[in-house]
Amino acid sequence: MSPQKVALVTGATSGIGQATAHRLHTRGHLVYAAGRNPEALDALRARGLRARSLDVTDEAAVTRLVAEIDAEHGAVDTLVNSAGIPDRGVLEQKTPSEVRTLFEAHVVAPLQLSQAVLPGMRARGAGTIVNIGSVAGRVVGPAGGAYHIVKSGLEALSLGLRAEVAQFGVRVVQVDPTGVRTPFFEGEFAEVWEYADDDPYGEFMSRRDASVRKLSKLPGAAISAETVARTVVRAIESGNPRPRYVVGASGKASVLLRALVTDRMLQRILLSGMGS
């Protein structure tokens, strides 16, 4: 059994997951960093992390990895569910397959990973599960409906699971960042999206894209992955972590606005930002 705290971090080959894996490693945790990018996994391995290839939607692979960790260390002390995929577009044009893929990655996979580590945590009477959500799970805007749906689902998963497993000494925390400067984030604003002339949402999406691109350049609109990682590690190392953490000034402002205005007023505010 390892005297170190053992952490399993998914989505560790980029963005928040990668920053969190490195930060936990520097703080003395024994980190299993899981992801799908072979070169990034090699880089993690070179820095002393235990890098593992993992598709979080592969149930058998998840079971094997947790069994490997349990066999060597007795249990996972900390699970950070950070793997995910981006999405954009209007709901009418989303296929059921696309929505299922998002749901599998953002809701079903974190649930299955939690189920896999919980027996060991319960046996020890301790453990921490951190789910990386988004302010998009708290504030719903246009042209990102499917992403909002799954991030809202992750919110419910975190709060429900937290209430169920607290009796065993297991803490569940949700971390909701605002926009984060990751390859996904930068890629969306670098790409110029084009829409067919007969697309009924083409003009709407073009205005949305221009609005988001403009907002992304404002000071404080986006934060670094390292900023989120600091909050994640602070929650893990806290004796009594909060159920939810919102990271980033713009995210906190959005959540406050959501609490202060009606649904109708919030929709007007969001659409007015697009010139509607």
Report whether 117 contacts 127 (CB < 8 A).
yes
What number of other Cβ atoms are within 10 A of residue 276's Cβ?
A: 13
pLDDT digits (tens, 9 = 90+) for 16-65: 999 999 999 999 999 999 999 999 999 999 999 999 999 999 999 999 99
This prediction has a pTM of 0.93
Report whether 10 contacts 34 (CB < 8 A).
yes
What number of other Cβ atoms are within 10 A of residue 262's Cβ?
A: 8
Angstrom distances, CA of residue 40 to CA of 56, 155, 186: 16, 29, 18
Measure CA 256 to chain center.
21
Task: List the domains of the chain with CATH numbers.
Answer: 6-179+223-272 (3.40.50.720)
Q: What is the crossing angle of helices 96-103 and 145-165, to 10°?
A: 30
pLDDT digits (tens, 9 = 90+) for 83-117: 999 898 999 999 999 999 999 999 999 999 999 99
E strands in the chain: 6-9, 30-35, 50-53, 78-81, 127-132, 170-177, 179-180, 222-223, 244-247
pLDDT band at 219 (very low <50, low <70, confident <90, very high): confident
Q: What element of type H or E holds 115?
A: helix 109-124
Instruction: Give the catalytic positions in this structure.
Output: 147
